[in-house]
Structure formats: C-alpha cells, structure tokens
Structure 1
Amino acid sequence: MFPGTTYRIGVLVIIVFISGVCSDEHELLMKLKAALAGSNTKVFDSWRRDVSVCNFSGIWCDDSGSWVKEIELSHQNLSGSIPFDSICQLQWLQKLSLGFNYLHGSLTDDLNNCSRLTYLDLGNNFFSGVMPRIDSMKSLLYLYVNNTGLSGTFPWASLESMTGLVVLSVGDNNFDQTVFPQQVVKLRNLTWLYMANCSIGGEIPAAIGELKDLINLELSTNNISGEIPSEISKLVKLWQLELFNNNLRGKLPVGLRNLTNLQLFDASINNLEGDISELKFLTQLKSLQLFENKLTGEIPPEIGEFNQLVNLSLYRNRLTGTLPQQLGSLSDFNFIDVSENLLTGPIPPNMCKNNKMSFLLMLQNNLTGAIPSAYADCKTLSRFRVSDNQLSGVVPSALWGLPVAEIIDIANNNLEGSITSDIDKATTLGQIFAARNRLSGELPPEISKATSLNTIDLSHNQFSGRVPATIGDLKHLNSLRLDNNRFTGEIPDSLGSCDSLNEINMAYNSFSGHIPAALGRLPTLNAMNLSSNLLSGKIPGSLSSLRLSLLDLSHNKLTGEIPESLSVEAYNGSFAGNAGLCSLKVKYFPRCSSRSDSGGVIQTVITCLSIGSAAGLMLLAYLCYMKKKKGGKREEEDDDALTWNVKSFHVLSFMEDDIIESIKEENLIGKGGSGEVYRVSLKNGMELAVKHISKHLVGKSVEFDAEVETLSSIRHVNVVKLYCSITSQESRLLAYEYLANGSLWDRLHNDNKKLGGLDWITRYEIAVGAAKGLEYLHHGCERPVIHRDVKSSNILLDEHLKPRIADFGLAKKISQHPDTTTSCSHVIAGTHGYIAPEYGYTYKVNEKSDVYSFGVVLMELVTGKKPIEAEYGENKDIVYWVCSKLKNKESVLSLVDSSICEGFKEETIKVLKIAIMCTSRLPTLRPTMRAVVKMLEEAEPCKLLGIIVKQK
C-alpha cells in the first residue's frame, strides 16, 4: 500500500459517513416540513432537497457544519402536529424551539428520545393531552412548556434528573391539582420559575428560600394557601415576585425588606393583613400591586420617594392616612389605583409631572382639598376617577379637554365650576360622571364635539340655561341624566337623532315647551323620565311606539288626551300632577269630551265613587279581620301560606292573580334545574314567561335572589326584562317579558323546520345585540355584573329576532369598582363547553370568563356547530376544533356554516377572528366586552350584498 493510502481511506470513510448522516438529517427535516405543510409561513422556502440543511432557515449546525444542533422556529405561524419520532432522531440536537405557534396534537413519548437537548421550548401552542415523562433529558437547562394546552398530571418526577435546570416555565396549563412539588425546590440552579395558572395548591414550602439564584418567581392564579414564608426573604436576587390571585393569608413577612433588587411585586387578590411597612425599603420597585386584600395602616411616606415607581395599585383594602405627597414626582409615573380604602388628605399634585400618566383612580375614599391643576395639563391621562370623596374647589377647566381621556368621574363630591368649552378637544371621551356636586353654568355647545360620549350624568347639580341643540350630534350617546338641576328652555328636538339612547332623565328641572315627538322614534330607548318640569301641550302619539321599562311625565302642565296605548292603569303614576290631561280608559283622570263642563261633572262622579269605594274597602277589611280572628291559629297559618308578596320592577298592567291562575300544565313551555317556565297570556293581550321555582328549592333561594337582585335594577334593550317577583312561603315566581322566538340555541341547533334558519346578517345582528347586553352588564351598571352562564340557550330572541341576555341565576354583582380587572367568585358555575379554562385550576373568575363564553357563542353563530360534538374528539370542544383548522385559508373557510350564503363567507371570518381572541387561554389576552362591541361593529357585513342575495 502506498504511503498515505491509509489516511486517505480514513478520510474517505469519514466523508462518506458524514455525508450519509447529513442525508439522513435532510430527510428528517423534510418530514418536519411535510407535517407543517399547511402553515402560513415562508420559513420553509429554503428547505429544499438541493440545499444543505445548514442553510435551512431556522436551522443551526455545529461549527464543522456537519450536524444539526439547533432548530429555532418560534413565532413562525406554524400549524400542524410535530413528528417527534423524526425530530428526536437528530442525534446531536441541543435546542428545539417551537414556541408561539399554532401547533396541535399530543406530545408523544418519542419526545423523551431527544436526550441531548439543553433547550426545549414548546410553549404558547395548542397541544392537548398530557406531558410525557422526559427523564432522559438530564442536560436540560431551559424548559418552556407554558400555555401549551396540556392537562393531566405533569411529570414532576422527571425534574429530579435535571439538576442543572436554569429556567422552568410550566404555567398556564390545566394540570391536575397538586401541592407545591418538592422536586422544584431541589433545582438549586434555577433563575427563572414560572408556575402561574397550573393548579398548584398547598403552601409555599420554606425550602423556596434555597433557590438563591432566582431572579423571577411567579406563582400567581393558583390555589396556594397559608402565609408567605419568611424564607422568601433569602431570595435577594429577585427582580420579580408574582403571588397574586391565591388564598394567601397573614402579614407580609418580616425580612421582605431584604429584597432590595425587587422591581415588580404583585400579591393582589389574597387575604393578606397588617401594614405594608416592610415595603418602604424596596427602593427599586417599579410596580407595586396589592389590591383586594385586607391590609391596614398607612402608606409609608418613603414610597413617595421611590424614583423608579410607575405603577401603584392598592385598591380595595383598609388603608388609612394620607397619600405621600411626593408620590410619582420622581419617576415616569403611569398608573395609580388606591380606590375603596379609608384614605384622607389631598391628592398628590405631581404624579403626572413627566406627562406619562394614563390612569388616576381614587374612588371611594375620604380625600379632601381641590383637584390639583396639574392634571388638567396631563395630556396622556385616559381615566380620571375621583368620585365618592370629599373634594372641593373648582374643577380645572382644561380637565374637560384632555385629548385622550375616556372617563372623567368626579361624582359625589363638593366640587364647583362648570363644564367649559375645552370639552371640544375631548374627542375620545366616552363617559362623564359628575352627579351630586355643586357644578353650575350652562352646558357649552362645544359638548357636541366630544363625539365619543356614550354616558353623561350631571344629575343633582346646579346647571342652568338651555341644553344646546347640538347635543343631537352625539350619535353614540346611550345614557343622558340631567335630573335635579335648573335647566330651562325646551328639550332639544335633536335628541331624536341620538339613535343609541337607552335612558333619558331630565326630571326636576324647569324645562318648558312641548315634548319632542322625535323622542318616540328612538329605537333603543328603555327609560324616560321628564317629570317635575314645566312641559306643556299634548303627549306625542309617537311615544306609543316605545317599549319603555320606565315612563314618568308626572307633575308638568301637559294637556289633552293620554294616547290610547299608554292609557292603562300601569301608567297612572306616570301622568299624575297634570291637571289638563284626560283619558277614555284610565280612571282617576277625567274622561275626554268636547264639552267643557263634562270633565268637571265626571270628575265629581269619580270622586264620589272613590269615597264610596274606600268606605266599602274599609268595611270589607274589618269583616275579614274579624273572621280571621275567630278562625284560630291554624286558619291564620293557612292564610299566611297563601299570602303573596309582589315586588314590581317595572310599571305593571296586571295583578298577581292573573299570573298565579295560569301556572298550570297546559301552559308549561320548559323545565330546568331550578323549576319550570310557563307561558302566561293576560287578558290585555300581553304575554309573560313565568319561572316557577320548585317547591323543594324554595328554601335554597340563592339563585332566585341573585336573579332578582341583578335584573331588578337593569334597564337595557338587550337584557331580558323582569317585571316582578311574586313570592309566598310555598312558591317563588319570576315574571319576565315573553320572547316569541325562543333561544338562539333553538334557532341554531334544533331540528325544528318551523323555526327557520338564520341568515348571516341576522346572526351578525344577534351577535352585536348580545355583545351590547354583556357590555352593559360589565361596564354600564353601577356595580359591574358577571353573568357566569353566557350561552346560546340564554340568549333569547323577540319577534324581530332581536337578542336579550337572560337567566341570571348564577350572576354576581361585583364590588363597586368600575375599573376592577379581577373581581372574583369562588363558585364553580356555568355550562360545559362554554366554561373558560381558568375554571379548571381556580375558583376565581371575572368578566373575562363571560368574554370566553361569548366567544364560544360567536363560534356557534359562524360554524352552526354545538360547543360539544363527537367529531371534535374525546374531551375536545369547539374552541379546540376551530383552532385545529387554522392551517390555511381553505380550511378556515371550511369552518363556516354551509347554510350561510357563499357571498358572506369572507365576512364571517372577521367575526371568527373576534371569537378566537375572546377564547384565548389566558384571560389577560381576551378583549373587554366594550372592545368586542367595537370590533363587531367594524365587522359589519355589507347590507347591499344581503339584499342581492335575498333577491336571488
């Protein structure tokens, strides 16, 4: 053999070997590409057979260019199922990063074959099933499986072999409930521990203090109980500590002051007590959030000197004393919420010193002094809420013109001044709450320039002069409350142009002239109170077309005949104090006649009859009393059992006997867990739906009481109307408006040909109407309401297929704090298929749970499918099914109900996108209902296309 031959043969063998291995790796990666072929991405454009794997996008090889070392395909819009059996044959693979995609399917045991991995990121995807054991990954340093869609039991024992683990991120998964796993506190090299939202219970172990390299510790939204261990003070490198939304109790531990590197601290929504004096040493804090606890004492003045602090949320505690007057003046302060405490003293004047502040929320305290003038120059301020305090002085005029303000809330104080012409700059202003102050002056015509206004409440002030005619330019106006002021002049006709108006209250002023007929053409008006003014002339016949829950025209100077449709006993009080009115039907009013003296004669007759009737009633009452007295105790008890207590919430044109007599089998239209529902037809042509709470549930009246409390105060065109409750010892009845077209569920899913289908324009309008009803519950009520059982069977449809949110048996009014983002309930409630994922790992839910359920309803409207169907697979629902189809345009369009006209299929995808946002696994990523309404309105289908389709 020639010299060097052996060397050349060796090199040739290595080359052939490497070439073969590279060829194998090429094939393995091509299998990955094929599995993800439906992805909407360009990352695979370079993945061709004529290109070296080391030149593939997202692929990194070792220094010699021989082996695939890293796969980095995060944030690439990938969809499909990962072939781990192929991937894990890449024998030198150290990094596999697939986070933030749309991957689905299960994680197979083949994953355990990726034994050389030091970095594994599968987070923020849509996998299903359980996390397999990964014991072989002994070299793993970074493990990200957060927000993957995994469930079942996490293989905590696999962590025992990963002694070098630096990052462990397993949060936002619906794992089985478990106590804090001891394997975690043995990972002494951890710097980052993310275990939020993953069903951890029990107490935080004292051994957590041994993880001395931790810079981030997140345990929020679990079921952790007990006290915060004092050993946590050993974690002196901590930069972020998140403990919010648990069941922690006790005081902030002594020694917390040692965490001098801490910048972000959140222990909100717990049961913590005591003062917060330990925090005065944490000078690096940027965000401090301790809201919804039971904390007491004063806010340490040292916090006012923190020069990094930008976010302070301490609302709904029992804190006392004054706010540090230096607060926010040394930093780019952005947000403060100290509402619902017992704070006193003035508002710190310089929190917007650097013009960065967005929210100033100080509701429900005992603050005094004036509103600092500096906030009138705070161009970044979005929400200014200082209601329910003892503030005084003049409201700075420029405050009304803040350019990005959405809410100005100064109600229930002792403030003076007027609304100035500066308001013409407030183009984003949606709500003004200024009731019960000492404000005066006239409303400026420039208010019409604040075109985003939907709520104006100026009641109980000293405003005077005319309401400007330009107020009709406020096309989004939903509620106008001007009652108890000194307004004069006529009610502007232009109000009839405010098509969104739901409530008008102008009572107790000095308005004169006629009631504008244009008010009768407002399509959504639900309540109108014009009482105690100087209004004259006839009642417009146009008011007959309104469907009002409240009508009050009493104590004016109205004349003429009461319109026939309003001439019912139910409206007697609505017209009292108008001597010039007459009626052919309503007693207690003179009968209308052309003869001038007939009214007086009839009035005399009526008076005599009234006196006679009163005397007769007194005699009858006496006889009944004597009979009852002689009947003995037994008879008395029987009489009590048959006594009905009626609570009316709207004007009633019927008596309880009319309803009670109709509770019989032939009128039964439905049954539920809490009782039966009857259709009641009254003699006056009115129809009601009456819920009868079963006898055995009368003593367990939580749902009944919740429904009555919630619906009794609600006035909205898209929320079902509760007329009254009728109760006795034996029965409980709720009388609602009857909605002829049943529920949305019936229309979408029942095989009843008589019901007929729903075209897309109708479905869209149902979606918008239902969304507005929920928006009102979350944002429009004095105390926000969480429905907790939003579903298509609880969306009822009237004769025009307009929707009403119904069935409030599980509803919960949350504490009076309009800006709360996490108002909680500890009761599992709802219907399978509509329940938000967070129900699986915490009892604490909020408005975002309603948003999730509404997102499911939107998916029903788009797909025509039920929330749970066999075709989705075992333990799968419509949300999973929809997300599994997000591969390409064709598969997405295949989701659309086949009965929807082809021309609208592109239009429906806009609503489907909103539904996907609403059903995000993380509640914080879901939009508010206010945002949902806005997005739906922007997704309005082309009405012209609808006309063309119907003509065809």
Structure 2
Amino acid sequence: MSFLRQRLPPVLLLLLSLLFLSLLSPSTSTELDQLLKLKTSLESSNPTLFSSWKQEHPTCNFTGIVCNLNGLVSEINLSQKNLSGSLPFDAICSLPQLEKLSFGSNFLHGSLTEDLKKCTSLQELDLAKNSFTGKVPDLGSLSQLRLLSLNASGVSGLFPWKSLENLTELTFLSLGDNRFDESPITMELGKHDKLYWLYLSNCSITGEIPEGIGNLTLLENLELSHNHLVGEIPQSITNLKKLRQLELYANSLTGKIPAGLGNLTSLRNFDVSDNKLEGDLSELKSLTGLESVQLYENHLVGEVPEEFGEFKNLYQLSLYKNKLTGPLPQKLGSWSGLEYIDVSENYLTGPIPPGMCKNEKLIDFLLLQNNFTGGIPESYANCKSLVRLRVNNNSLSGTVPVGIWSLPRVVVMDLSMNQFEGPLTSDVGKANSLSLLLLANNRFSGELPAALSEATSLVTIQLSMNQFEGQIPATIGNLKKLGSFHLEQNLLSGAIPESIGSCARISEINLAHNNLSGQIPPSLGSLPNLNSLNLSGNQLSSEVPATLSSLKLSLLDLTNNQLIGRVPELLSIAAFNESFDGNPGLCSQTLKNLRPCSSNSGSPSHPRILLSSFIAGVLALLILLGVFLLWKLRRSSLDQPLKSNSWTMKQYHVLTFTENEILDSIKAENLIGKGGSGNVYKVQLRDGKALAVKHIWTSPDSAHQKTYRSTTSILKKSKSSSSEYDAEVATLSSLRHVNVVKLYCSISSEDSNLLVYEYFPNGSLWDQLHMNNKVKMGWEVRYEIALGAARGLEYLHHGSHRPVIHRDVKSSNILLDGDWKPRIADFGLAKIVQAGGEMTHVIAGTLGYIAPEYAYTYKVNEKSDVYSFGVVLMELVTGKSPVETEFGENKDIVSWVCSKMQCGESEFELVDSSIDDTLQEDALNVLSIAIRCTARVPVLRPSMRMVVQMLEEAQPCQLTSINITKEGENNPKMEQNFHY
C-alpha cells in the first residue's frame, strides 16, 4: 500500500480506497434507506433506542440489527421496547435477506399490510402482544417460515387457515388470544409434522378438534383452551408421545378421556377443566410424571385411582365440581411438593390422606362439600405453608390437632358444618395471618380463650351453633379489623364486654340465644359501621342504651331478654316494631307491641339525644356546604383555557384527526359528564365521527386538584389527578378487547392531560336503567349487555399475563354503543396486580357497589370486581338502583334481594315489571348468578371466567327480536319472533 501511495495520484488513490471499502461492506444504501424509514415510523416512542440509527453509522451497528456474513440485514429484533406506531412493511420486506423479524410485546398499531407477503426469506415472525387491527393477510408466500407468533396481537376477522398449508417448515405456531371470526381449523394439519408448539387458545375456533392433530407427533405443547370446541377429544391425540402440556379447558367437549391417553408418558400438565366430559379417571393412572392435573367442572364419575398416590412430581390437583366417589389415595401428595388440592363438591368418602403436606409446601387445602370422615390428621399441625384450609360440609369428627390453630400463614380456616369437638385452644392467638375463623355447626366446647384477641388479623369470627361456654373475652376489642362476629346458639354467660366498642370496623354482631347477662354496653353506639345487631334470647337487663340511637341499623333484635325502662325515642320507629318483644319491663309511646310508658317510667337522657341531633345537623350542613363549594370549583374549571402551547400526542391506533381538532373542542358547551377523575367532553370531528375526551388538570393550582370524591357517607380527598392519569393510560393502552373501551390516544402538556376515547351514543347502562329518559329494554337486550360486560371483565382478570383489577365496576362505567353492545370503561382506579398479591389503596369504588370486606380490610382483588358486577346484574334484573329509600336505612340492593328471598316472597316480584312475563324465569336465572357474585365471603364468589360460563348457560330459552322503547313515546312494541 505504501508503494501505491508513492506511485498513484491522490484522486485515483481515493477512488481505489472507496472501491475497496465497498467490497468489504456490501450493505447497500437501499438497506440504509429502508431502516431509516422504519426509524421514522417508531422513533418518537423511544428516541434513545434509535440513537445509533444514523446515516453515517454502519447499519450492522444499529441497535437491534443483526447482519449475516455478507453484511446484509438478516435480523431485526426490537421486542419489548415500548414502541408505538405502525410498521412500514413495504420498507421492511425490501430487505432481501431478512430472516428474523421480532416486534413482540410493544404497542404497535395499524394493520398487517399485503406487503408482508414480500418477506419471502423470513424464517421467524414475531408480532405478538401488540395493538394491530384488521385481518391477517395470506401468508402462503412465506414458505421458509419456522416460527409464527401472532398471539394477543390485536388482529381480527377471518383467519386465513388455508394460507398456512404452504408453511410446511413451521415448528412454532402461536395465534391465540385474538378476536378472530368464529371458524373451524381448516388447514391440513398433517402437512405440519415439524410443529412442536401449537398455541390456539382463545381465538374463536369452532367445531371439533381435527383428527389430523394426531399426525403432529413432535408436539410438546398443545393449547386449544377457551374456544367453542365440541365433540369428543379425538383418539388420534394419543399418538403425541412427546406431549408435555395439553390444555383444552373452557370448551364444550363431551365424551370420555380417550383410551390410550395413558401412553403419553411425557405429559406433565393436563387441563381439560370446564367441559362436559364423562367417564372415569382410569386412563390417567399410568401417567406417573404428571405435575398438574386440572379436571374441575366436568361430569366425571368413579374413584380417584390409587395410582395418583404414586405421582412423585404432582404439585397441583383440581377435581372440584364432578361426581367422584370413594376415598382419596392415602399416599396422595406424600412424595411430591403438593401445593394445591381442590376436590370440593364431589361425593368423596373415607379419611383425609395424612401426607399431603409432608414436604411443607401445601398452600390451598380445599376438601369442602364431600362426605369425608374421621379427623384431621396430626401431620397437618406442622403444615406451616398453609394459606387456605377449608374442609366444611363433611362428616369429620374428633378434636382438631392443637397446632392447626396456630398455623402462621393460614388466612381462611373453615371447619364449619362437621362434627368436631373439643376446645378452641389458646394457640389461636399465634395465628398471625388468620382472617376468617369459621367453626359454625359443630360440637366445639369449653371457654373461648382470651388469646383469641391476639389474632389481630381476624375479620370474621363465626362460632355459632356450638357448645362454647363461659365469658366472651374482655379483650375482644383488640381485634381492630373485626367485621363480623357470630357467637349465636352457644352456652356463653356473663356480660358483653364493653371493649367491643373498640372494634370500629365491625358491621355484624350476633350473640343471640346464649345466657348473657348484665347491660347492653353503651359503647356499641360508637360503632360507625354496625349494620346488624342481634342480642335476642339472652338474660340482658337494665335499660336500652340511648347511644344505640346513633346507629344506622338494618337489623335490630333485642327480643326475649329482661330489659326495662323506656325505649329510646329514636329507636321507637316502625322498622323496629318487633325488635323489643319479650321484654315485659320495656315501654314505648309509639311501638305497638310494647306497653305505653307512664310518667315515671325510665327514660333515656333527652339532653344527650338533643345534643346528638344538633351535632348531626351541623355535620350535614357542613357536608352540603362542601358539596356546593366543590360544584362551584368544577364549574369555574370549565372556563379555564388550555393554556399550554406545547402538547405531546401519543397514539395507540390509526388516527384520522389532529390534536388541534381535539384541543379546540374542550369547552363548556361540549361538556357531557363529570367524574372523580376529570370532566368528559364530546368532540365532533369534521368527518362526522364523534369522540369522547376526558380532561384532567395536572397543575398544582387547578380546580381539579382541589376536588373530593364521595364514596361513603363522608367526603374523602381523591388521589392526585396525575397518578390517576398515569394509571389509566398504562392500563388502557395495553388492553385490546371488544368489550373494553378503546383508547385512541393521549395528549398531554404541563398543566393538562387528555384521553381520547370512542364515543358511545347510548350513554351508560345507568342512564338507560335509571335516568328520567330511561329506555325500556327487553330481557334479551339486558342479557346481551350482561354477557358482554362479563366478557370484558373476564379479559381484564384473565386475559393478560397479570390481572387488571378495575376497582370501580358499576352500571355508569358500562357504556353502550349504537348496537347496544357494552364496553367496560373508566379505569381511573384500575390497578395491575403485582406478583404476590392484593393491592391496598384508600378509596376504591362507589357506594352500593363496594364489596363488604373493603370496609374492614381496605384490600381489593378480582373478587371485589366480581361483587360489584353482581350488583350490576341485580340492577339489570330488578331495574332498581343499588341504593334506594324503599330498601330501608343503610340497606342496599344486595341485602334487599336477599331479605326478599329469605322472607319467602315470590321471586318473580323481584323482576322488573317491564320484562316480558315469558322471560322472567330467564331473568331469575341471572339473579341467582348475581347472588353468588355478591357472597359476603370473597372466596365463595366465582371467578369472572366462571361468571361468563354461567351466563352463557343462562341464555334465554325464548330469544326475541331486540325490543327497545323509550319511555314517553308511543312506539308500539316490535313483534316478537320466538326461536326454540
């Protein structure tokens, strides 16, 4: 080279150098242009990522780019980079030797264009977990494709199954969790004998499982769950000798477990739960390598094979809601680290296997509603890992091993409805996590230990219908979280402890039918949440404390005691006419069942009552003043201009409008609603399309930072608007479901945040059920709304890798489009569950919809949403709002429905009179689901996945054409067309 420098002119030397460099790096300027075009589409969402993508840099040094030996781009890997925008497939597929394209787990939108067909060199295509729209194009030209991953990508329409027939090199195919049009699998599976991974769950597949599935002999993972599959599991599936995971749950499969399934000795996870399978479990007995067995909610019969006791790797066994009989294998779980067993709601008999917690890993021990006999084996006294112990509704007997009472992690201990005897020992005070202690309907005896007051996590104590004696521990007031206290029908004596007035969260007290004596503690009157008080059938004496007048009780029962004196005036109301019967020493001037008071009859302290009334009046006035000031602040905020000139728009779908169209429409005349997290405006675009925009102020001096959110009878300060905005954007931008409201984009500045949604012309379900211009909706419309909303919540809870808890489910947050299809909306309070448990926050929900446990735990989880949705179902069936004056003081729709049913009144009286008589029984089927959803104990509520299934099974027998009539109009009813 030094020789050339001496002999050649500089210009010629330069030309030779450029030629030499081009031979070393054949990457063409065309590839650079295409990559820069890709950068332009995505850079705004993650500028740092693309900082190396510069024209002067070699393309092979770009972040996420891999080149082959020829210096040409062979791989683009930008997965999990928080990217948004649309992909320019025309540019991407112009890269001639591109073999791997991965954009999984981002926020990409737009469509998969026909240009994707030009990526003919692709071997791997991963676009999973994004927000694309539209159909999947014919991919038949990608004949070299080995990996195709489109699960949860947002695509829809009819999937082109036939186009896959050319992709004979496929080893990995993942299309699940997309809302495709319903269709059967029409491709010839036999051509794909190289597949080892097939994930087609939750993508609307219909028909039967193709017999050709048995030709995929290399399959290790087969998932077809949560579809609309019918028929039997094909016999050919037993050919899949390498199968490790088989998931077919949540379909409508029938028949038996195929003969020969026991030959799949590599199988580790087997889930065919939530189907209609029959027959026994004999085919599984030879699968000794099984780790997880999920067969719940089928029609399986026979015994659990003894061989299950030899499964050395089993950690999860779920067989609940079948028709299984006989004993459990006595070696069950003794070899393995069993973590979860649920065999509830069967007809199982015999003793409890002793070794299921031998390795101290058992977390959930659920054997309820069977016919088990004998006692709880001593070995479980050392099961320190247990969280849920539920053996209620069996025929168990004997004494409970002492160590059971003090298990450190147990949250739920349910031994009710058995024949246990012996004492509740003082060890219970060491149960640091115990929340629910349920021992009702047994033969427990002895005194209640004083150490019971040391189990300070207790929320529910249910010890009724036993033989406990002695006194209630004087220190019971130490249980600050106690919400429900049931000791009725025992042999307790002595006085009711005054300290019970320290249990500020308590809502229910039932000490009926004991031998309690002395006075009713005046401290009971200081319990702000007490809703039900039953002290009947005791020997209580003295006067009724005037302090009870301050309580807002839906149930008061002091009958059959030895009370004397005048009933306090504020308790002498018609609602309590029978609450004092059986007390000859009581008198009242107004209660018809008591003798009238003479002039010298004992009376409560009138000055105290007058003082209480005066204080209550002052408080009411202050609250009204606060509400008025809040209204004034919000009205003034409507006239505040959007003062920032610097706006940032982040889009999550293809937009047909600009940010200026939105900003120009945020003014008072377009206001259509107000919520705890911001005002909502209707924006009419130039093309005629309407949008809904939520406006949240973020500057410290904004009016919205001073607002208050009312969720109970008092006003509590709301969370900051900025945190609500962040929560809502983070949640909504990742959600893709037909029954969840669509967030088009967010627009933010230094003092304001705007969220741009779909607009719903029919408003909310609350509007249509309860407002003055409400619409008369036939049951078929209400049913479809219920089912659609349930599917939306099911998606939130089960459709992503971490559950999303809405935390404010109510009819006003269920919006209705022009076709009356529902969308779950308003995620200002939503939280994503972190690994490890429940989210705890101040304020979650709206009065009438809040689950009862929230009053004493301030914790919410998926079951809190289920309760709220149960209230919505009750609204749909009864036509009533969650809180109405006709329910009585401090009573809501749940207690009203339950009391009506307990009183033996006709169930049909609960159904909205506007629902056609021929469909009222169908409405009652949904009401029964609502009652299950609103169970007081959260663990008794179904999951949203189960709610969807129950609603699907409750489809009206007589489907009518949609009938919607607005009140006040003379529109005749549409003619009904019955389909059987």
TM range (shorter): 0.5 to 0.7
What amino acid does structure 2 have at the position aligned with 1:836?
R
Q: Matches of 1:237 and 1:11 in 2, distance apart? A: 57
User: Which piece of structure 1 moves more, 333-342 or 50-59?
Assistant: 50-59
Residue 303 of structure 1 aligns to a residue in which SS? helix
* C-alpha deviation, 1:766, in angstroms: 9.8
1:399 to 393, 400, 404: 404
Aligned residue in 1 for 2:109: 104
Map of 1:575 onto structure 2: 580
CA displacement 1:35-55 (0-9 Å, x = unmatched): 334546854454445543333
The reply on whether 1:855 has 2:798 as its aligned counterpart is: no
Other structure's SS at 2:375 match: coil
SS of 2:194's equivalent in the other structure is coil
Q: Contact 2:805–2:861 at 8 Å: present in 1 too? A: no
Q: Is residue 58 of structure 2 the alignment partner of residue 52 of structure 1?
A: yes
Q: Is the 8 A contact 1:247 1:270 kept in 2?
A: yes
Q: What is the CA-CA distance between 1:33 and the residue it aligns to?
A: 3.8
User: Could you tell me which residue of structure 1 aligns to residue 330 of structure 2?
Assistant: 325
Q: Distance in 2 between matches of 1:459 and 1:856?
A: 33
Query: What is the aligned partner in structure 1 of residue 518 from structure 2?
Result: 513
Native 8 Å contact 2:805 2:862 kept in 1: no
Distance 1:198 1:261, change over 3 A: same
2:130 paired residue among 107, 125, 140: 125
| 2:591 alignment counterpart | 586
CA distance in 2 between counterparts of 1:808 and 1:371 reads: 53
Letter aligned with residue 463 of structure 2: L
Identify the match of residue 830 of structure 1 among 758, 767, 785: 785
C-alpha displacement of 1:250: 1.0
Give, in angstroms, the shift of residue 398 of structure 1: 1.5
Equivalents in 2 of 1:882, 1:137: separation in Å? 43
SS of structure 1 residue aligned to 2:357: coil
Matched-pair contact (CA < 8 Å) for 2:708–2:715: no
Q: Indicate whether 1:194 and 2:188 are aligned.
A: no
Return the letter of the residue paired with 2:300: L
Question: What are the equivalent positions in structure 2 for 1:724-763 lying under 5 Å apart?
Answer: 761-762=708-709
Residue type of the partner of 2:453? S
The one of 216, 223, 247 equivalent to 2:221 is: 216
Contact 1:32 1:86 in 2 (8 A): yes
Identify which of 497, 506, 509 aligns with 1:492.
Answer: 497
What is the aligned partner in structure 2 of residue 338 from structure 1?
343
Q: Relative to 1, partners in 2 of residues 1:255 and 1:797: Cα closer, same or farther, differing over 3 Å?
A: closer
Deviation at 1:469, TM superposition (A): 3.3
Equivalent residue in structure 1 for 2:86, among 75, 81, 90: 81
1:792-803 to 2 correspondence within 5 Å?
A: 793-794=765-766
> Equivalents in 2 of 1:346, 1:291: separation in Å?
21
Does the CA-based 8 Å contact 1:97-1:122 persist in structure 2? yes
3-state secondary structure, aligned to 2:277? strand
Per the alignment, in what secondary structure is the counterpart of residue 132 of structure 2? strand
How many angstroms apart in 1 are the aligned matches of 2:275 and 2:295?
Answer: 9
Determine the structure 2 residue equivalent to 1:61: 67
Contact 1:744 1:792 in 2 (8 A): no
Compared CA separation, residues 31 and 878, structure 1 to 2 (3 A): farther
2:538 to 526, 533, 540: 533
1:35 and 2:61 are equivalent in the alignment? no
Equivalent in the alignment of 1:250: 255
| Deviations, residues 467-505 of structure 1 (Å, cap 9, x unaligned) | 223322322222111111122222223322323222111
Corresponding residue for 1:928?
862
Give the superposition deviation at 1:136: 2.1
Q: What is the correspondence of 1:142-181 to structure 2 with a 5 Å cutoff?
A: 142-181=147-186
Residues 258-316 of structure 1: per-residue CA shift (max 9 Å, x gap): 11111110111111111110110111111111111111111110110111111111111
Equivalent residue for 1:235?
Answer: 240
- Alignment CA distance shift 1:24-1:426 (3 Å): farther
Tell me how far apart the structure 1 counterparts of residues 64 and 713 of structure 2 sit (CA, whole Å). Answer: 45
Partners of 2:778 and 2:523 in 1: how far apart?
Answer: 38
Given residue 863 of structure 2, which amino acid in structure 1 is its aligned partner?
Answer: M
Shift of 1:584: 0.4
TM-aligned CA distance change 1:794 to 1:543, over 3 Å: farther
Q: Is the CA contact (8 Å cut-off) linking 2:53 and 2:59 kept in structure 1?
A: yes
Instruction: State whether structure 2 residue 315 is matched by structure 1 residue 310.
Output: yes
Q: Which amino acid counterpart does residue 264 of structure 1 have in structure 2?
A: N
Residue identity in the other structure for 1:237: K
After the TM superposition, which residues 253-272 of structure 1 pair with which residues of structure 2 at under 5 Å, given as runs? 253-272=258-277
Q: 1:94 to 1:596 in 2, by over 3 A?
A: closer
- CA deviations 1:680-729 (Å, max 9, x no partner) are xxxxxxxxxxxxxxxxxxxxxxxxxxxxxxxxxxxxxxxxxxxxxxxxxx
1:597 and 1:446 map into 2 onto residues whose CA distance is 39
**RMSD value over aligned CA atoms?**
4.6
Task: Pick closer, same or farther for the CA change 1:854–1:376 going to 2, 3 Å.
Answer: closer
User: Are 2:789 and 2:822, in contact at CA under 8 Å, matched by a contact in 1?
Assistant: no
Specify the SS of the correspondent of 1:439: strand
CA distance in 2, matches of 1:746, 1:15: 60
Per-residue deviation at 1:34? Answer: 3.9
The answer on whether the counterparts of 1:174 and 1:837 sit within 8 Å (CA) in structure 2 is no
Inter-CA distance 434–140: structure 2 relative to 1 (3 Å threshold): same
Change (3 A) 1:50 1:308: same
Asked if 1:16 is matched to 2:7, the reply is no
Maintained 8 Å contact 2:797/2:862: no
Aligned length: 698
Partner of 1:836, secondary structure, is helix
Give runs of aligned pairs for residues 903-922 of structure 1, distance below 5 A. none
Gaps of 5+ in 2: 604-672, 683-702, 717-738, 742-762, 771-775, 833-840, 846-859, 869-980
One-letter amino acid of the structure 1 residue matched with residue 363 of structure 2: S
> Is residue 2:404 matched to residue 1:470?
no
**Offset at residue 537 of structure 1 (A):** 1.8
Q: Does the residue aligned with 1:178 lie in a helix, a strand or coil?
A: coil
Q: How far has the Cα of 1:565 moved from its partner?
A: 2.7
Mapped to 1, the partners of 2:422 and 2:131 lie a distance apart of 56
Task: Work out whether 1:364 is the aligned partner of 2:369.
Answer: yes
Q: 1:878, CA displacement in angstroms?
A: 7.4
- Give a deviation string over 1:511-533, Cα, whole Å, max 9, x none: 22222223223232222111111
Q: How far off is 1:933 after superposition?
A: 11
**How far apart, CA to CA, are the structure 1 residues paired with 2:270 and 2:321?**
17
Task: Give the direction of change, closer, same or farther, for the CA distance of 1:7–1:292 in structure 2 (3 Å limit).
Answer: farther
CA distance in structure 2 between the aligned counterparts of 1:909 and 1:34, rounded to whole angstroms? 43
Q: Which residue of 2 is the match for residue 432 of structure 1?
A: 437
Do 1:743 and 1:797's aligned partners in 2 also have CA atoms closer than 8 Å?
no
Q: 1:505 to 1:161 in 2, by over 3 A?
A: same
Unpaired segments of 5 or more residues in structure 1?
Answer: 599-741, 770-787, 799-806, 812-825, 887-906, 912-925, 935-952
